[in-house]
Amino acid sequence: MKNLASQIHAFGKALMMPISVIAAAGIFLGLAAAMQNPAVTGDAFANLQVPQLIIGFIRKVAAALFANLPVFFAVASAIGLAKAEKPTAAFAAVIGYISMNVGINATLAAKGLTALTTTPAALQQAGMDQTTAMMTSAEYINMLGIFTYNMSVLGGVIAGLITVALHNRFYTQQLPTAISFFGGRRFVPIVTIVVLPLIGVLLALIWPTIGQGIAWVGQMIGKSGQYGAFLLGTGERLLIPTGLHHILNETVRFTPIGGMATVDGQTVVGALNIFNSSLTHPGAIPDDTVRSATQFLAQGKIPVMMFGLPAAALAIYHTARPEHKQRVKALVLAGALTSFTTGITEPLEFCFIFVSPVLYILHALLTGLSFMLMSMLHLMIGNVQGGAIDLVVFGILGGSKTHWWWTVALGVIYAPIYYYGFRFVITRMRVETPGREADEEPQSTQVTADERTKVIISGLGGESNIEDVDCCFTRLRVRVKEMKEVVDQTLLTTGANGVNRVSEHDVQVIYGPQVEKIANEVKSALGVA
């Protein structure tokens, strides 16, 4: 069970690779959409040929990225979970994904299902009514030139997970001398080519049942309307300490649970995919469909990330003891600015979620309420983070149809609610937020940047105790041999906002956006490529 927990956290970390690229591509796409909107730039600019050609090129690049998301997730899943030889695992994942879809294609062909026989027109000729024909046709897609089931990102994840399981089992496989050249890491792509087509055949047989189940969950959430948005917003925040919120988010963003739409005869599934497709294909998706998708995206986070949490940071600062205010000021100011601009919240959240369940639950419920209210007010702001960048690019520059002003209005209300709510709970329940730690506990002395790497390694139990080092957006993720050797107090002196033990051998140290630099410094010191 403990090993399973470790694998789940590694998988959640792996999902961050494609998401970081998609988030950045989404911002460029949003800017391009705004620059092609005459209401934003004026008719004169919209009619300039060269700028519009450049913007159109940007749209095509972004559209290509979004269209091939399953491949990216297959590769990311394999890299994240491979024990060693990660490049081999990534290479095999691409082969595995293609092979799996070939297996699906062959099974569909045996059933008489091809790209020609599953068009809406062909299905109507076979006796289906128009609506059923369109829905049935939407179950299939051409991916990398292969006619297959439309499994979206889930198909990539399945291929990646099975490939990495084969990789971890066979990358050290030795073969007889005569064929030893094909042993070791070269054996992984070979066994992948053998196994994954068979997995494709199996998937083709059971996918209709799986698809019906996913569609049922999606319909249930869709029928829940704003209450479904509330459950997502609350659940995502509650999962923050575990790191599993990424998996919940990706399920809504890239599967039918987040919605379905049709663009150029192709079905687009998932809230984020729908929103990005609305940017690459202006007018192709009805605004109501886009709004239904964006209720699960950035719009629900903006009042919390831009207004609520910075106000909570101010409350933490004001309730700190006078002798600690300077230290706390530096801590919460950095966290508040990060939350406000980018929507990255862990540096602030880890200041209170482990020391006060009341503040933790209050924050989660207020986030869920924000998601629900933004849905009720018919906002249409997408992307994934929820900071000022998303508000400006996808809200203000998106025009009046986004109803972006409601995020600011709710934010103005949320700021005092968070401030006075946090201040009341901290003072009344004597919560030991930063600067209020018990007097008998020794206060941390922050180390210099030059000393930080050595202290981090020491706090993790020394070089001999560290098995693997990696990071996501805000957390240094480390696998250690003995958890008892990890010293929280030592790690906190390095500027960490918190330490989270997620399994018997996995620990996360929360640093915020600068964690990538810290991870590289630790890897260099350990001699890890």
Cβ atoms within 10 Å, residue 4: 9
Residue 59 CA, chain-centre distance (Å), reads 22
472 is an active site residue: yes
Task: Provide the token pair at 253.
Answer: 């963003």
Buried b (16+ CB within 10 A) or exposed e, 203-222: bbeebeeebeebbeebeebb
Cβ atoms within 10 Å, residue 318: 16
Spatial separation of the C-alpha atoms in residues 519 and 498, rounded to whole Å:
16
- Pairing outcome for strands 498-501 and 506-510: antiparallel
Task: Provide the token pair at 335.
Answer: 């966290």
- What residue has token string 């690019």? 393
Q: Report how far apart, in Å, the C-alpha atoms of 182 and of each of 117, 187, 189 are.
A: 41, 5, 10
Given a contact cutoff of 8 angstroms between Cβ atoms, the answer to whether 516 and 471 are in contact is yes
Q: Which of 159, 455, 472, 502 is catalytic?
A: 472
Per DSSP, 309 falls in state H
Spatial separation of the C-alpha atoms in residues 78 and 434, rounded to whole Å:
39
By three-state DSSP, how is residue 495 classified? coil
Find the DSSP H helices in 405-448.
405-428
Nearest to 316 by CA among 307, 325, 303, 306: 325
Given a contact cutoff of 8 angstroms between Cβ atoms, the answer to whether 289 and 261 are in contact is yes
Buried b (16+ CB within 10 A) or exposed e, 76-100: bbbbbbbeebbebbbbbbbbbbbbb
Catalytic site residues? 472
